[in-house]
Structure 1
Amino acid sequence: MRFSPFVERISGHGVAAWDIHHEAFNAQRDGADVIILSIGDPDFATPDFITQAAIDALRAGDTHYTDIAGRPALRQAIAERYSQRLGRSVPADNVIAVAGAQNALFMASMCLLQAGDEVVVLDPMYVTYEATLKASGATLVRATCFPEDGFRLREAALKSAITPRTRAIFLSNPNNPTGVVLDRQELQCIADLAIAHDLWVVVDEVYESLCYEREHQSLASLPGMEKRCVVIGSLSKSHAMTGWRIGWMIADAELIGHAETLALSMLYGLPGFVMEGALAAVKAHEPVTREMRETYRRRRDLVVGRLSDCPGLAVLVPDAGMFVLVDVRGTGLGSLDFAWRLYREAGVSVLDAAAFGEPAQGFVRLSFTLSDDQLAQACERIAGFVDQLPRAV
């Protein structure tokens, strides 16, 4: 039987990157002694008051069809928060609530891109971007961020990636997997190029609440970006709500209308009780995320401190997020080989960061979403694994 060429566009190296995680997850479920650092899923439960809001809604019979673009109260609450963040009025009509940031990214890809277009991405990028953007038929063009620069943006690399066929720039800020937070100068570079070449810019900001020493600024707050910048947000990481599948897109009202039409075909609206929980979460955004941020900062420092003195490893300290990139080239192993051997010989699963882009070849990505004790044990296993390897010459 024949399949559509679409199925080839949504496959690739980024999809295969999850093989090690799936194997580790299944092994752990079967009782194996495995520590999973290959996914960014918080180890603690969603705050009780959020869960209670959803439970109350369920018990009140909130189990029917809902507004396709999201309930007005939720859209308004999100709009009010972004009005404060961006320093300008954001109407509720500029917001659509969707099933997580990944769903919003797919919607943006399908509504903005088509075959023959080029879309520029900052490389390395989150592993699902490749399939998400190719699903539209567009061609990916990678603007390389080099490890010797700490994976920060080079203006020349971005400029050279833009051609007459370029339609949009997609990026995450803070970046996953690097944890880099773009500064004002880097953001202005992107904005200037987008305006000069009449480009859309889609920025995934799911980690904006988990910034540590470097303050986060939204690209959408810069002059000239109000109409052409699409902001993707989520409660998954900031509120430990990965399984709730709730996120949003902030954009010009016309694009939101097209996204709503697509949502009609894909989702036909989110569950009402999920949106009631999300409404409670958005209204209490700052106190919840403040506590989350300090927890992750402590865990980041634990992992960085335990691994920084390990011979053969070099740790990139992240500005934000819940991941650490570790340079394993000093061990003499490639990053994919390192990841699989670490899992099979020490029972710790990490991701080969090369799956996020060629510039991260030789790095692995570790999450710090487990308890301090588990992270300390994982670091001991990693150090022990590296210590028994033959020294690279």
Structure 2
Amino acid sequence: MRFSPFVEHIAGQGVAAWDIHHAAFDAASQGEDVIILSVGDPDFATPSFITDAAVNALHAGDSHYTEIAGRPALREAIAARYSQTLARPLAADNVIIVPGAQNALFISSLCLLQAGDEVLVLDPMYVTYEATLKASGATLVRVPCCAESGFRLDPPLLAAAITPRTRAIFFSNPNNPTGVVLNRQELQAIADLAIAHDLWVVVDEVYESLVFEGQYLSLAALPGMAQRCVVIGSLSKSHAMTGWRIGWLIAAPQMVQHAETLLLSMMYGLPGFVMEAATAAVLAHEEVAEGMRETYRRRRDLVVTALSACPGIRVQAPQAGMFVLVDVRGTGLGSLDFAWRLFREAGVSVLDAAAFGEPAQGFVRLSFTLGEDRLAQACRRIVAFVEKLTSERALHWA
């Protein structure tokens, strides 16, 4: 008896990044006092009017097969919202509903890439990108966004990575884990390269509603990108709906048709009651997202302020999202050792950011998805742990 080598082929360092989170979750479930900052799962309940829409649909018998591409009302609501944000008309045939942004990435990979292709990714990147893109057989080409630049795009470096085999560019904006939001000049540089070399661009925008300052600009809004840009969106972060598994692709109709063919075999349509809840959420998108954004802004400021004064670590203040990168190189520990010791000795779980890519080596990622009292407690534990490390180093060199 044997297994297909497929899963082993797509496994990578990113897949193993969750070991510390699973250990922390298990410890917390056993009653240990662990503060879990290693996952981006909002601590809010889904707003009640969204849940009510699903419950009412179920009571009305909404438990049957649905349209493969998603219910027209939901697709039309999403198209209407993006018609405003992209400043061009979109219709339902530009939208397909998928079970979460992760599946949207997987679908994009299988629809656009094949063995022999090269796909450029901005590094660091979300931990599952490696496995998701390798599933197509394509080769990943990492374009580093270095810590010294604040993890910002280096357009000449991106241009230099393009070869005759390059097929697409995949990236998240805002970025997870860095919280960086690309500006107009950086986005235009990507668009110019995509047009010049006839490349697809897939941009994961799941955090676009959680930009703290300024107006978010989508790559898909730039001239020449309508036919070659695929936008991935989700309600997980903006509406506290991680467990609902609902997301979408925005693309040219031909791409949507290819994705629908794939979904026919993968899912055969999402649950109708989930799509009814999603429709209610999208129709009240900004109303809900605004409250989430302000809450996360306060939490970001709390964490950045609490940790910035701690000698031995440096905080990378995010422009968006629900994560902070902390540079721990000054502690004398590698980021993986720091994360495990912080968990075992202080009861706080964070992720080794090196799992997101080599440029984040020496950084840890912590989420601010807990209430402010608990976050403040976590920060005090981190500061005390770093002070302990500093004392240990001083004794070692004395």
Same fold (TM over 0.5): yes
Contact in 2 for aligned 1:214/1:319 (Cα 8 Å) = no
Report what 1:307 is aligned to: 307
State how far apart, in whole Å, the 2-side matches of 1:128 and 1:79 are.
27
Using the TM superposition, give the Cα deviation of residue 2 of structure 1 relative to its aligned residue in structure 2, in angstroms.
2.5
Report what 1:54 is aligned to: 54
Report what 2:14 is aligned to: 14
Deviations 1:307-334 (A, max 9, x none): 0001101000000000000000000000
State how far apart, in whole Å, the 2-side matches of 1:2 and 1:254 are.
38
Report what 1:205 is aligned to: 205
More displaced 10-residue stretch of structure 1: 71-80 or 7-16: 7-16
Contact in 2 for aligned 1:239/1:281 (Cα 8 Å) = yes
- Count matched residues: 393
State how far apart, in whole Å, the 2-side matches of 1:296 and 1:171 are.
23
When the two chains are superposed, the root-mean-square deviation of aligned CA atoms in Å is 0.8
- Give the unaligned 5+ runs of structure 2: none
Contact in 2 for aligned 1:9/1:137 (Cα 8 Å) = no
Using the TM superposition, give the Cα deviation of residue 161 of structure 1 relative to its aligned residue in structure 2, in angstroms.
1.1
Is the counterpart of residue 119 in structure 1 residue 142 in structure 2?
no
What is the percent sequence identity of the aligned residues? 78
SS of match in other structure, 1:115: coil
Is the counterpart of residue 253 in structure 1 residue 215 in structure 2?
no
Using the TM superposition, give the Cα deviation of residue 31 of structure 1 relative to its aligned residue in structure 2, in angstroms.
1.1
State how far apart, in whole Å, the 1-side matches of 2:325 and 2:55 are.
38
Report what 1:353 is aligned to: 353
State how far apart, in whole Å, the 1-side matches of 2:110 and 2:38 are.
28
Is the counterpart of residue 364 in structure 1 residue 364 in structure 2?
yes
Using the TM superposition, give the Cα deviation of residue 147 of structure 1 relative to its aligned residue in structure 2, in angstroms.
0.3
- Give the unaligned 5+ runs of structure 1: none
Using the TM superposition, give the Cα deviation of residue 5 of structure 1 relative to its aligned residue in structure 2, in angstroms.
2.8
Q: Which runs of 4+ in 1 moved over 6 A?
A: none
Report what 1:193 is aligned to: 193
SS of match in other structure, 2:187: helix
Using the TM superposition, give the Cα deviation of residue 10 of structure 1 relative to its aligned residue in structure 2, in angstroms.
2.0
Report what 1:92 is aligned to: 92
State how far apart, in whole Å, the 1-side matches of 2:103 and 2:61 are.
26
Using the TM superposition, give the Cα deviation of residue 6 of structure 1 relative to its aligned residue in structure 2, in angstroms.
1.4
State how far apart, in whole Å, the 2-side matches of 1:360 and 1:202 are.
22
Using the TM superposition, give the Cα deviation of residue 48 of structure 1 relative to its aligned residue in structure 2, in angstroms.
0.5
Is the counterpart of residue 78 in structure 1 residue 87 in structure 2?
no
State how far apart, in whole Å, the 2-side matches of 1:388 and 1:371 are.
26
Report what 1:40 is aligned to: 40
Superposition map of 1:1-393 within 5 A: 1-389=1-389, 390-391=392-393
Using the TM superposition, give the Cα deviation of residue 9 of structure 1 relative to its aligned residue in structure 2, in angstroms.
2.5
AA in 2 matched with 1:356: F
SS of match in other structure, 1:202: strand
More displaced 10-residue stretch of structure 1: 214-223 or 301-310: 214-223
AA in 1 matched with 2:231: V
Contact in 2 for aligned 1:181/1:214 (Cα 8 Å) = no
Contact in 2 for aligned 1:46/1:239 (Cα 8 Å) = yes
TM-score (norm 1): 0.99
Using the TM superposition, give the Cα deviation of residue 214 of structure 1 relative to its aligned residue in structure 2, in angstroms.
3.7
